[in-house]
Structure 1
Amino acid sequence: MFASVSSPSGLWRDLAVALVALFFGIGGWFWTQQFPARAMLWPNIIFITMALIGVGYTIFLLQRTLVVGRRNADDAKPIDEAMDEETPSGKQRLILMSIVAITTIGYLFTFPLVGFYSATFLFLIVVPLILGYRNSRWIIGYSTITALLLWLVFGLLLNRSLPAEFFL
């Protein structure tokens, strides 16, 4: 399942995604606490699951880094040769993670105004672009399918109202 995790140069991108899932799950859980008691069960389950996935994936990535680091300790090259040109520096990583965190916070404040499905669709397009993914067909497809699944589950199946769309 996790065999296709990025190389060490993409590890920071994967870690950023895991942390976004974690913080989005925690933020969403706090947000759902203002819901009426009868309407908060499924959103709570989804946000708690998202946070747990973020924690699990973060632990997996950190453990993988330690194992790979130990395995490659004997084959280590000098730092200049080992550096990948695409690997962001520590300052670049901090900036990237800060931008993703700000985007996530912006999403939480935007969807009551724009609508849940529209804001989610846009958020799922913007975050991969920030993280460096450039396969536009994959990004659009993933965003569309996720927004449609959320609509099917919450709008049709559970008949739960979410923040209305700005165009309705």
Structure 2
Amino acid sequence: MAGTESPVPTIAELEEQESRLEFTHFDNLDAWNLGVRLVGLATERALPVAIDIRRHGQQLFHAALPGTTPENDAWIERKIRVVDRFAAASLLVRLRLAESGQALDAGLGVDPAQYAAHGGCVPLRIRGVGVVGTVTVSGLPQVQDHALVVEALEGALAAATGTHRPEE
């Protein structure tokens, strides 16, 4: 995964992901299990990532794997602000802004030093409730950060419903 170019998903593909990646509930133990799943994926691939999971602003899980620095945590904070403000994945916000010719700056009422519309932060959604938190990865190229989060969410949702993905 690291060092390879990943194709950028389309807005429609990202919107489909968001509609499909919904939990029926999400508690502290779910955050722990999702975090452990992400750490497992990252360590088996030797990926230098920091991982953060929050619900209603409370950090429920954080890990900084070998090769990360405090800069990754700063990126995590900036990506989370984007998801919290726009209630959409940071990569989806980036693509929507690019499509509309807008920039994430004072014109939208934000300080670019505090917000980063870069892939890697995905909203945690509960069906019938909406966005309740975030799952964020920092350390890879943004499309790969996003893809790692989506892979872990898909695995967590499959485990929660007892279904298995075809490649398992």
- TM-score, normalised relative to structure 1: 0.29
Largest Rg, 1 or 2: 1
Q: Which one has more relative contact order, counting CA pairs under 8 Å at least 6 apart?
A: 2
- TM-score, normalised relative to structure 2: 0.29
